[in-house]
Amino acid sequence: MNQLAVKQESEFLKRIRNPALFGKIMEAEDTLQFFKDGMYLGFSGFAEGHPKTVPALLADHVEKHGIGKMKFNVYTGASIGTDVDDRWAKLGMLGRRWPHQQGNAIRKAINAGEIAYGDRYLSMYAQDFGYGYYTLDNGGKIDIGIIEASCITEDGSIVPTLAVGIIAEIVERADKIIIEINSKIPSLEGLHDCVGVTLPPNKQVYNILSVKDRIGTTSIPCNPDKIVAIVESYRDPVGRPLGAPDGNSVLIANHIIDFLQFEVKQGRLPKNLLPLQSGVGSIANAVIGGLLTSPFENLNVWTEVFQDNLLDMFDSGKLDYVTTASFSLSDNGIKRLLANWEKYTSRTLLRPIQITNHAEPVRRLGLISMNTPVEFDIYAHVNSSIVNGSRLLNGVGGSGDFMRNAYLSIMHTPSTRPSQADLHGISCVVPMVTHVDHTEHDMDVLVTEQGLADLRGLSPRERALRIIDQCAHPEYKPLLQDYFHRALKECLASNSAHEPHMLHKVFKMYRNLEEKGTMKLENWD
Amino acid sequence: MNQLAVKQESEFLKRIRNPALFGKIMEAEDTLQFFKDGMYLGFSGFAEGHPKTVPALLADHVEKHGIGKMKFNVYTGASIGTDVDDRWAKLGMLGRRWPHQQGNAIRKAINAGEIAYGDRYLSMYAQDFGYGYYTLDNGGKIDIGIIEASCITEDGSIVPTLAVGIIAEIVERADKIIIEINSKIPSLEGLHDCVGVTLPPNKQVYNILSVKDRIGTTSIPCNPDKIVAIVESYRDPVGRPLGAPDGNSVLIANHIIDFLQFEVKQGRLPKNLLPLQSGVGSIANAVIGGLLTSPFENLNVWTEVFQDNLLDMFDSGKLDYVTTASFSLSDNGIKRLLANWEKYTSRTLLRPIQITNHAEPVRRLGLISMNTPVEFDIYAHVNSSIVNGSRLLNGVGGSGDFMRNAYLSIMHTPSTRPSQADLHGISCVVPMVTHVDHTEHDMDVLVTEQGLADLRGLSPRERALRIIDQCAHPEYKPLLQDYFHRALKECLASNSAHEPHMLHKVFKMYRNLEEKGTMKLENWD
């Protein structure tokens, strides 16, 4: 073992509590022998919790011995650190890559047609991955799974780190497993609630009646014969920058808080609301900020990512319990978490996507779900993933699991975004979205800084009027009203006015943006 | 009571087993006093099981006293008989109408902008209806619920007829309830498995581990104070015509049976498959026909509509158990069912949409789900409800509940449909669908008579090539290939080639159909 390893040896060895596995301990460099071009790999991780050491060594190897010589098909829980994704993308090491990413380099490579990237609602992805649907060409197998672990228990089970992701599914499908023990962060044993892979007709009930109900185990059983290497990985978590609330975000958050208060008053929500699912970004942070100063107490959160704002909520005393799929904290947030470990984690469960995003608990618990899309249209179809019908942003992630099944499905976005030529060059309210991730049959509420449109029970034409009226930016309102009324007139003439559209003109605002740098079309002629 | 009533009186009275309710017995005509223009009404029914007598009398009343004088907002389980929907539509009696319909007259009125019709995936609709989301303008209330019942039990509970639909939700939300006892058909007591309305955070587990697991009651509790009238309704069920399998349907069915056999061979399906959900129409009938001559045995069905083909399957001995939301039989099928009542119903459960379409059992049981859309696109977005982006057909129904959550999500359609000018004037495989009901993130398999495209694990570009290759009609294949390659080239140039599209040309095939009577575009320039 090298210097660094020796230095940490005692902690590292302490983390392997099954002595029968000592024989699998290996220098990380020595695992390179297992990898071959074209292999299917599964990585632990969802925001954090991904393997860092072996992937970095593989990248070093490729950098040294020739770019493009090794390409892999990589499956993770969701996006992982750009330390791996972006570096691998730059080195041409990614063939297929599922589901979700956040790096500039990997995004560029996907949109350049170099990586076969795919998306599916995360809970279905996790389940179908366990069924072998993503590795059909490889006999349903993952060749090598690389798992970042806190420790290995006496019975050889794996205790994850800052996310569970799809570790159980990878372990089920993998021929070989490499475990990276991350001894730089404390062991997270006890924080997780893991379930295995069962196929129908033998699937079990997820008997969760509240955010804090445990149904699984604190570690993931693993056949020791599959483990080919255990390596030390002495690495800090990858911190993520926070989206600071801006003026629009605060306005949006205020609309949402007002709406929730109204719903409580109407008796449609309990006083402590229902479990909150909130996405990432500045609006999500503003909403949490708004809740901190609201009269709501004893709140619960059921979400994908535990961000810094939940530390604030715990500090405020308003937060009772959190279920999350991952920790995604800033560098400062990581420090705060580690400094007050017991306080924050004693009322937190870290679960696999298979549970956090599953329709069964989401629907039974009755989540209030809030996420930010790219754009929505006048009939309430929502685009979360692809610009201009073609260019991928980060992927659809888990938003669809929540939007479909929540008690209240809320999408929030600024009404406009700047283009290069115009501060309000892009309207986020359009006649027809260019890609649909959530349909008109999914949405309850749409919000922009202009206002909140409660769409429950409305027909498409009623929705259009309300969305334009409540959500569109004043500079686009007349244009969208004109579209709707012209479309209505045209469609009435052809007896097809259920959801009026003019297909031959529907994407003209995008064309105008391309040609003139703004969606402010002169007219619809 | 009138002549007819007297004739049936003894059977009718036998069906009301709680004597305290005798005082609510009324001539159907006398219920008209309860109705006022603008009211919110809830009807039992899903395919069948809708009230027939009071709605007919209301229509008579309007016909006599002035069309347009009474307009109602009507909520049902799904489509109901055209005896009510079409007649009410013609008489201008429908203001709002949710969710699903099948009549020519009602469809015409919806597309003429006269009826505010709306759609949502049925299980979410049922749940949200119970929460009061569809009647927010009316204080969350239904003014009058009209329920067709087999009988009323000793404790005043309602036993439904040939569908459960959303009766429990209507009973929960209704101020007043009128019960139509249909004494023409046998009492169906014992056939149903009903659950009530519970709001989060108090929702319960649906503890269903197999198609035949009961979790509820055989009748629906009802506060007797809400019941304002019990009337006799001596009516035959409304038979529905069958879609006879044609050549294309048989080809499609064969592709599907071959695929299922392959999946069994690969160990991804058990020998008796998994519970089958199959839509309506000629392809569904051909698939069931194919299963009858296949080696599969001990099959189970979990579906929305029990059609004649399931009688055949029971007769063949290959069918073990059925859960259905409704019976939708031909006149002959109804005769067969009644003639062999015990045989067919002893292994059948009739459940509310809240159970049949709920993500929880659908996903746990691992359904094989097969439905017919309007069209799908090269990236696997599917349109089930709206033509040309605007004109409603029947509605999205429950297909989305199944497509999202099934073990295998399969959509099947002929590759083309005829236009007036061209036998293959309409391609059902298009560059971009004009309305999305199921997204690219939902689908596993697409099938036409040309072939079957297994899309599991494929990226968008891979999907496009496979769908065009396997599913498109030969007369459209070059056109679609050309679209894809041009779009790819264009999008590579702008670094947006994740899911290549040319927005400014994407609907040209529809324009061509409108102008030249066929989607056979000369070129994409």
The three-class DSSP label of residue B30 is helix
- Other beta carbons within 10 Å of B65: 9
Which of A473, A490, A520 is the last residue before a domain boundary?
A473
B339 occurs within a structural domain: yes
State whether A401 and A464 are in the same domain: yes
Alpha helices per DSSP H over A40-174: 53-65, 82-90, 104-111, 122-131, 167-173
B296 touches B322 (CB < 8 A): no
Q: Which of A441, A459, A466, A494 to mutate to test the interface with B (most CBs of B within 10 A)?
A: A441
The residue from B48, B172, B232, B304 that is catalytic is: B304
Range of the domain at B447: 247-473
- Choose from B391, B498, B507, B519 for mutation: most chain A CBs within 10 A: B498
Q: Assess contact for B398 and B357: CB atoms under 8 A.
A: yes
- Structural domain contains residue A394: yes
Residues near A234 by Cβ (< 8 Å), separated by ≥ 6? A4, A8, A182, A183, A184
- Buried b / exposed e along B91-112 (16+ C-beta atoms within 10 A): bbbbbbbbbbbbbebbbebbbe
Structural contact between residues B399 and B382, judged by C-beta atoms closer than 8 angstroms:
no
- Whether B499 sits inside 8 A of A118 (CB atoms) is no
Residues B507, A506: C-beta atoms closer than 8 Å: yes
Choose one of A440, A456, A473: the last residue of a domain. A473
- B390, A492: Cβ pair inside 8 Å? no
Residue A239 counted as domain residue: no
- Domain co-membership, B112 together with B9: yes
With tokens 């064309």, the residue in question is: A511
Distance from CA of A500 to the nearest CA of B (A): 5
CATH code for position A307 = 3.40.1080.10
Residues B226 and B179 in one domain: yes
* Closest to B273 measured CA to CA, from B301, B237, B244, B308: B301
A200 lies in the same domain as A86? yes
User: Best interface-test mutation with B: which of A141, A378, A498 has the largest number of B CBs within 10 A?
Assistant: A498
Distance between B456 CA and the closest CA of chain A, angstroms: 6
Buried b (16+ CB within 10 A) or exposed e, A261-293: eebbeeebbeeebbbbbbbbbbbbbbbbbbbbe
Inter-chain touch B112–A499, beta carbons under 8 Å: no
Asked if residue B40 lies in contact with residue B143, where contact means CB atoms within 8 angstroms, the answer is yes
Residue A224: which residues within 8 A CB-CB, separation 6 or more? Answer: A18, A20, A21, A156
Active site residue A11: no
User: How many H-runs (helices) and E-runs (strands) does chain A carry?
Assistant: 17, 23
Q: Which residues of A touch B124 (CB under 8 A)?
A: 404-405, 441-442
- Inter-chain contacts counted by CB atoms under 8 A, chains A and B: 258
Q: Which residues of B fall within a CB distance of 8 Å from A459?
A: 96, 116-118
What tokens were used for B166? 């959303």
Put simply, the answer to whether B112 touches A400 (Cβ < 8 Å) is no
Do A273 and A348 lie in one domain? The reply is yes
Do residues A30 and A159 share a domain? yes
pLDDT tens-digit map of B303-339: 999 999 999 999 999 999 999 999 989 889 989 998 9
Nearest in space to A42 (alpha carbons), one of A26, A55, A29, A30: A55
Same domain, B228 and B297: no
Residue B400 to residue A495, Cβ atoms within 8 A: no
| A136 vs B209, B456, B503: nearest CB | B456
- Annotated catalytic residue: which of A180, A304, A375, A499? A304
Q: Does residue B510 sit within a domain?
A: no
Which of B408, B439, B502 should one mutate to test binding to chain A, selecting the residue with the greatest count of A CBs within 10 A? Answer: B439
Reading chain B (525 residues) residue by residue, the pLDDT tens digits are: 444 454 556 899 999 999 999 999 999 999 999 999 999 999 999 999 999 999 999 999 999 998 878 999 999 999 999 999 999 999 999 999 999 999 999 999 999 999 999 999 999 999 999 999 999 999 999 999 999 999 999 999 999 999 999 999 999 999 999 999 999 988 999 999 999 999 999 999 999 999 999 999 999 999 999 999 999 999 998 877 777 778 899 999 999 999 999 999 999 999 999 999 998 888 988 998 899 999 999 999 999 999 999 999 999 999 999 999 999 898 899 899 989 989 999 999 999 999 999 999 999 999 999 999 999 999 999 999 999 999 999 999 999 999 999 999 999 999 999 999 999 999 999 999 999 999 999 999 999 999 999 999 999 999 999 999 999 999 999 999 999 999 999 999 999 999 999 999 999 999 999 999 999 999 999
Contact B368, B243 (CB under 8 A): no
Work out the mean pLDDT of chain B and round it to a whole number.
Answer: 95
Which residues of chain A make contact with B404, given a CB cutoff of 8 A? 121, 124, 359, 404
Say whether B496 and A111 touch across the interface (CB within 8 A): yes
Query: Within a domain: residue B154?
Result: yes
Cβ of B392 within 8 Å of Cβ of A360? The answer is no
With a threshold of 0.85, tell me whether the complex ipTM lies above it: yes
Residues of B in contact with A321 (CB under 8 A): none
Structure tokens, A101: 């990413």
Q: Which of B237, B240, B228 is nearest to B182 (CA)?
A: B237
Residue A513 lies in a domain: no
- Whether A479 maps to a domain, the answer reads no
Same-domain pairing of B314 and B448: yes
3-state secondary structure of A302: strand
Question: What are the helix (H) ranges across B66-212?
Answer: 82-90, 104-111, 122-131, 167-173
Which chain B residues are Cβ-neighbours of A169 within 8 angstroms?
none
Binary contact (A407, B503; C-beta < 8 A): no
Using alpha carbons only, give the angle A485, A488, A492 rounded to the nearest 5 degrees: 145
At a CB cut-off of 8 Å and minimum separation 6, what does B424 contact? B416, B418, B473, B475, B476, B518, B520
User: Residue B427: how many CB atoms within 10 A of its CB?
Assistant: 25
B59: Cα within 13 Å, side-chain hemisphere: 18
The Cα of A492 is separated from the nearest Cα of chain B by a number of Å equal to 6
Q: Do A146 and A270 share a structural domain?
A: no
- Could you give the CA distance from residue B497 to residue B501 in angstroms, rounded to a whole number? 8
Q: B221 and B327: one domain? A: no
Distance between CA atoms of residues A171 and A174, nearest Å: 5
Helix axes B477-493, B460-471, angle to 10 degrees: 170
A302 shares a domain with A218: no
A506 lies in some domain: no
- Into how many domains does chain A fold? 2
Closest CB to A133: pick one of B127, B457, B491. Answer: B457
Task: Please say which residue of B436, B453, B473 terminates a domain.
Answer: B473
What is the least distance, in Å, from the CA of A390 to any CA of chain B?
4
Are residue B192 and residue B256 in the same domain, yes or no?
no
Specify burial of residue A202 (Cβ count, 10 A radius: 0-12, 13-18, 19+): exposed
Place of tokens 């009343």: B61
- Asked if the Cβ–Cβ distance from A390 to B360 is below 8 Å, we say no
**Is there a contact between A380 and A432 (Cβ–Cβ < 8 Å)?**
no
Nearest chain A Cα distance for residue B339, angstroms: 33
CA nearest to B80, candidates B133, B34, B146, B15: B146
Q: Kindly give the confidence (pLDDT) of every residue in chain A, 525 residues in length, as a single tens digit, with 9 standing for 90 and above.
A: 444 454 556 899 999 999 999 999 999 999 999 999 999 999 999 999 999 999 999 999 999 998 878 999 999 999 999 999 999 999 999 999 999 999 999 999 999 999 999 999 999 999 999 999 999 999 999 999 999 999 999 999 999 999 999 999 999 999 999 999 999 988 999 999 999 999 999 999 999 999 999 999 999 999 999 999 999 999 998 877 777 778 899 999 999 999 999 999 999 999 999 999 998 888 988 998 899 999 999 999 999 999 999 999 999 999 999 999 999 898 899 899 989 999 999 999 999 999 999 999 999 999 999 999 999 999 999 999 999 999 999 999 999 999 999 999 999 999 999 999 999 999 999 999 999 999 999 999 999 999 999 999 999 999 999 999 999 999 999 999 999 999 999 999 999 999 999 999 999 999 999 999 999 999 999
